A and B are shown apart, each in its own frame.
Chain A
Amino acid sequence: MEPRPLRKRANRQQHDNEEGLEVRLTKRAKALGLGVVALGAAVALAACGGGNGIEGGGGSEAVQTVKYQPPPQGDLTISNWPLYIDKNTVSNFDKATGVNTKYIEDVNDNQEFFAKMQPLLSKGQSGGRSIIVVTDWMAEKMHDLGYVQDLDKAGIPNVEANLRDNLQHPTFDPDRKYSVPWQSGMTGLIVNTKLAPNVHSINDLFDPQYKGKVEMLTELRDTVPLVMKADGIDPNKATEQQWLDTIDKLKSAVASGQIRRFTGNDYTRDMANGDVAAIIGWSGDAVQLQADNPDIEFRMPTEGCILWSDNMEIPVGAPNPTAAEAFMNYVYDPKNQATIAAYNSYVTPVDGVQEVFKTTNPDLVNDPLIFPTDQFTAKCSNQPNLTGQEEQTVTRAFEGVLNS
C-alpha cells in the first residue's frame, strides 16, 4: 500500500481536531448536564430505598400456625448442623412416606445461619427450607422476631408421646409450641488423654503447662458460661458485669498465648492432628474423633457442663410444613431415633431408645453421653441467653476477644 491513503487519514484526524474544539465544548456541556441528571437519578433511587429492608423497621405480625394436611408428599428441604444424622434415615423416611427429602448441612454457627437467613425470613421466605435446626437461644430469638411458625400438634403425636420429661417445658417455649428438640448435647471438655491426662476442670485449661495447646468455642453462650461456672458463678443468674469480667479473663488468656484459637466444629482438625491437648467442645464430637485418634475422650468438668438442645422449627414461608411435621414425627419413633443416636452420640430427646438399644446396640445401653443420668449432669446448667442491649454489648466484647 502506498503512503497516500495514510496521509489522507492523518489529514482527517487533524481536521477533526480543529473543528472538534467547538463541538467538543457543547458536547461537554451536554455531557455535564447528563451527568447531573444521572447523579440526581441515583440519589433519588437511593433515597427511596429502604422500604422493605432493614431500615424500613420490622413490624412483627401475628404468629403463623401450621395446618397439618396429610398425607405427606412432595419435596422437603431440611437445614441441619453437620454430622448429625446417619446415612440411612433420610432415605428410609422417603421410602416410608413417598416424600422426596433434600437434607443439607449448612448450619455451622447459629449467628452465621441467622445472618444468612434473616433477609429472607424478614420477608416471610425461607429459601425453600421447611425445617431448620438451631440451638435453644436462637430458636427463641427467631420466634420473637416472628420468623417461625407454631406447630400443629395433630401432625406430631410421636413427639407428644415420647419427648423426654425434662425437655417438655423449657423456659423459652413452655408448651413446646414451635420447637421440637432434634438432639440435646453437653458442652464440656474434650481431652487428649496422652497429652493432657490431668485436665478435669475448665480452670485447668488456664494452666500454663498447656499454653498454646488449648482452644475454646466461638459460641458465646457455651464458652463464657463454662468459664463462669468454674469461678463459681451461676450463668443463668449472672449480671452483665460478670459476663464482661469473664470475657476479660479470656482476653488475658489470649494475650498471654494460653488460648491458641477459638473454633467452631473445626477443633476436630486440631484435635485429630495432635496440635492441641485439651479444648472446650461438644460431647458427641469426642466419640466421632475417636475413630481418628483413640486417645481422645469427652470429660465432664468437675464444676459441671452446659446443657443445650438443637431444635427443629418450621420457618415462615416453609413450602411443605406437612412433610416437615411427618419427618419430625418419624424421628421421634424410638426405632428410627436409635440409628440417629447411635451415629452421632449426642443426648437423645426420645424416650424408649434405651429399650431399642438392648437388642440393636447393647454396648450403648449405658452410654452416659447418650443417656446421661441425673447424677452425671447434676452440676450442669442450662445454656443461658442474652437479649437486647445486653446481648449486643456482651457479644461485641466477646467477638473482640475472638478477633484480638
Chain B
Amino acid sequence: MRDQRLVNLRRRLIPYFLLGPGILWLILFFVVPMYFMGRLSLDTGIFPEFRFNWQFSNYTDALSAYDTQFFRAFRYSAIATIIGLLIAYPLAYAIAFRGGKWKNAMLLAVIAPFFTTYLIRTLAWETILSDNGFVVNTLQSVGLISEDGRVLATSGAVIAGLTYNFLPFMILPIYASLERLDTSLVEAAKDLYSSSRQAFLRVTLPLSMPGVVAGTLLTFIPATGDYINAQFLGGAQQAMIGNVIQSLYLKQTDYPAAAAISFTLMAAMLLIVFIYIRIAGSEALMGEEVEERT
C-alpha cells in the first residue's frame, strides 16, 4: 500500500516538475514586471529621479491627453482584423479543401514572407506605395484617388500595412481548424438536401469558429499595440497608442506616464479578450479539453 502511495505521490508531482521551470520563467519575467510597471505608473518626478507616490493622476492625465491615439489604435486594428478575416478565410478554405497535393506548397507561400524581417516588409510597402510609384499612379488613373492624392501618410496605408503584416496569424489558425474538419459531416448535410451554401453556413462555418476566434485575436491584439506601420506608412495624424508609448519610454523618458498608458492598454486588451472569449466560446482556444480517451 505504501509503495502505491509513493507511486501516486510521484505521479502527482510530475506535472509540477514539468510545469515548474517554464511557469517560473513566465512568473518572473511576465507577471512580476507587470507589478513593476504598475508601481512605476504611480511615481512622480522628473527624470532621473522618480519616487513612488500613489500618483493616480498619471492615469487620468494620460487618458485625457492620449484618448485620440487610443481610439485610433482600436479602430485601425479592428478594421485590419475584419479585412484580414475577409482575405484569410477564403484563402484558408481554398488551401484546406481545394489544395490537394499543393496544400503544403501553398502554405509555404503563405508563411514564407513571414521570414523576411517585419521591418523590411513594411519598408518595401513604403517604396511600393510611394507617391510617384506604380500603385498610386494606377489608382489615380482609375479614379480611386484624386490627382494630387496619396496613399502614404494616410490611415489607409497604415491599415493596409497592419492587415498585411498579420495575415499569417489569421490564416494559420483558420486553416488548422478547417483542415481538421470532418468532411463527412458536410456530406451528411448535403445528403439531407442542403445546398452548398447552407452546408457551409450551418456546418463548416460553425465548426471553424475556434480557428476564427484564435485568428482574430492573434491579429487584433498585436495590431492594437503596433507602432511600426504607423511610423513608416503613416503621417503625423496616424499615430497609434504604441507610438505614444514608445515616445514616452524611449524619447521623453517620462516613465510614469509611459507605464500608466501601457497598463491601461493592457487592461483594455485583457477586458476585450475576456469578453470576446466568453461570447465566442473558449474550450478549443484554452485547451480546456483533457484527454477523454483512456
Contacts and interface: CB of A to CB of B under 8 A. Distances in A.
| A contacts B directly (C-beta below 8 A) | yes
Interface of A: 6, 9-10, 13, 16, 19, 23, 27, 42, 45-46, 49, 54-55, 57-58, 109, 111-112, 114-116, 118, 122, 145, 212, 254-255, 257, 259-262, 269, 273-275, 388-389, 392, 395-396, 399-404
Interface string B237-256: 10100011001111111110
B180 to A, nearest CB: 26
Size category, B interface: 35 or more
Contacts of A16: 8
Interface stretch (B35-43, B110-118, B204-212): B35-43
A118 B48 contact: yes
9 contacts: A19-B8, A54-B48, A109-B251, A254-B237, A273-B131, A274-B132, A392-B254, A403-B247, A404-B236
A304 B51 CA distance: 43
A392 B46 contact: yes
B71 to A, nearest CB: 13
Given A255-B237, A275-B130, A396-B252, A46 B48 contact: no
Given A260-B236, A273-B132, A403-B243, A57 B49 contact: yes
B36 A49 contact: yes
Contacts, number: 106
A269 to B, nearest CB: 8
Contacts of B239: 402-404
A9 B294 contact: yes
A41 to B, nearest CB: 10
B251 A275 contact: no
Interface string B108-126: 0000000000000000001
A260 B253 contact: no
Given A27-B12, A254-B236, A255-B237, A274 B250 contact: no
B69 interface: yes
State the 8 A-B residue pairs at the shortest beta-carbon distance, nearest first: A403-B239, A261-B235, A111-B251, A275-B131, A254-B236, A58-B48, A273-B130, A261-B236
B14 to A, nearest CB: 13
A42 B35 contact: yes
Contacts of A404: 68, 236-237, 239
B97 interface: no
Nearest to B65: A400
Contacts of B43: 55
A367 B288 CA distance: 73
A6 B52 CA distance: 61
Contacts of A13: 294
A294 B232 CA distance: 25
A10 B294 contact: yes
Interface string B1-41: 00000001000100000000000000100011001100100
Given A55-B52, A261-B153, A388-B46, A396 B236 contact: no
Contacts of B48: 54, 58, 118, 122, 145
Nearest to A400: B65
Contacts of A401: 236
A23 B5 CA distance: 10
B150 A46 contact: no
B95 interface: no
Contact of B46 (A109, A273, A389): A389
Nearest to B133: A273
Given A275-B152, A392-B252, A399-B248, 14 more contacts: A49-B36, A54-B47, A57-B51, A254-B236, A261-B235, A273-B127, A273-B130, A273-B133, A389-B46, A392-B254, A396-B254, A399-B247, A399-B251, A403-B247
B253 A118 contact: yes
A55 B255 CA distance: 11
